[in-house]
Chain A
């Protein structure tokens, strides 16, 4: 009797594990890419600029590899937009988000000198076969700057890579934070070093 009970219990446990594996297999965990980018804005060029992120990109959810055969999903534009704003706000005095509709009128009304259009590309991976949080994250920010007439005046690409051995978080991505810090530092330096942006106050 005891043997039969033990066998039934083992079967139930096996079924539970099998069921869990079926439910969790290839699971895409929701995470947030916190950039923690916060630059000082006390020495800015006295001009107004804008940045443009389409509504579709703001809603864009991407899925990239994580550990243990799992994946993670996140909203790169929504999560990193504050970092874009902080970066531009540390270089230019006023920064506006340019809307999709009425774009030309908005640029004219707010006297925007440049409009920056970022394109974000991400990838992730993990060395762990057991834990799902990613240990590595790559971020590429391709930025195009347009003048008020809509002509491209600047185009550059910035990359960042983050790696962690520990610090596994279930809700955010520590290597993404490091990757974002590296990429946005490069973007900020490029904006501060470029004469056409630094001299834009007199335009």
Chain B
């Protein structure tokens, strides 16, 4: 009985690991890519400004992504958006790169969870830099006292925060100008 009670308490409050969902393209990002007459582009690596970028917890448990790291998740997200829009080409002379500079994630709130993300992005054309921009995103989601609800909500919220950060890049007029046909 005591063991069952402890297990139930663990499920209620969290204290278990959580993984962000596989990245899903957003409609806003697809609209920004599909109707802008952009050239095909490749995605290089997205690095980190500090190792603390890849340390995140939610309700006492480790929080991770389906990719190897949080910066790899951001890289995969941009690739997924470009692929869905039919614009990803690994052989392209235009390569998107970047550095993730902020990855603050807080799913501890009983009513609201927050994520604050930031990254420096660039585009190189045959090694020559043709675009550089700093992007930030703040996202809030509805949280809960119960870990069984709050943890999946935090995982969803994190993916939406990444969608928002990626949108800041893809909808940037300078980004679109750099990749215009």
Please give the residue numbers on chain A whose beta carbons come within 8 Å of chain B beta carbons, in ascending order.
9-10, 12-14, 16-17, 19-20, 23-24, 27-32, 34, 38, 40-42, 78-79, 81-82, 84-86, 89, 94-97, 170-172
Q: Is the CB of B4 within 8 A of A82?
A: no
Q: How far is the CB of B137 from chain A (nearest CB, A)?
A: 17
Q: Which residues of B contact A96 (CB under 8 A)?
A: 31, 35
For chain B, what secondary structure do more than half of its interface residues adopt (helix, strand, loop), or is it mixed? helix
Q: Is the CB of B35 within 8 A of A95?
A: yes
The answer for the CA separation of A146 and B156 in the assembled complex, in Å, is 35
Q: Is the CB of B34 within 8 A of A81?
A: no
Q: How far is the CB of A56 from chain B (nearest CB, A)?
A: 16
Q: Is the CB of A41 within 8 A of B86?
A: yes
The answer for the CA separation of A32 and B11 in the assembled complex, in Å, is 21
In this complex, which of A10, A28, A171 has the most chain B Cβ atoms within 10 angstroms of its Cβ? A171
Q: A85 contacts which of B6, B34, B83, B149 (Cβ < 8 Å)?
A: B34
Q: Which residues of B contact A32 (CB under 8 A)?
A: 21, 24, 156, 159
Q: Is the CB of B27 within 8 A of A81?
A: yes
Q: B5 contacts which of A14, A24, A34, A85 (Cβ < 8 Å)?
A: A14
Question: What is the total of A-B residue contacts with beta carbons within 8 Å?
Answer: 95
Produce 1/0 per residue, B16-39, CB < 8 A to A: 000111101111001100110000
Q: Is the CB of A27 within 8 A of B146?
A: yes
Q: Which residues of A contact B153 (CB under 8 A)?
A: 30
| Residues B1-59 near A (CB distance < 8 A) | 1-2, 4-6, 8-9, 11-12, 19-22, 24-27, 30-31, 34-35
Closest to A19 in B: B12
The answer for the CA separation of A32 and B2 in the assembled complex, in Å, is 34
The answer for the CA separation of A172 and B22 in the assembled complex, in Å, is 9
Q: Is the CB of B27 within 8 A of A42?
A: no
Size of the B side of the interface (Cβ < 8 Å), in residues, is 35
The answer for the CA separation of A10 and B152 in the assembled complex, in Å, is 31
The answer for the CA separation of A27 and B156 in the assembled complex, in Å, is 17
Q: Which residues of A contact B8 (CB under 8 A)?
A: 16-17, 20
Q: Which residues of B contact A29 (CB under 8 A)?
A: 148-149, 152
Q: Which residues of B contact A38 (CB under 8 A)?
A: 83-84
Q: Which residues of A contact B151 (CB under 8 A)?
A: 170
In this complex, which of B11, B27, B34, B148 has the most chain A Cβ atoms within 10 angstroms of its Cβ? B27
Q: Which residues of B contact A28 (CB under 8 A)?
A: 149
Q: Which residues of B contact A82 (CB under 8 A)?
A: 24-27, 30, 84
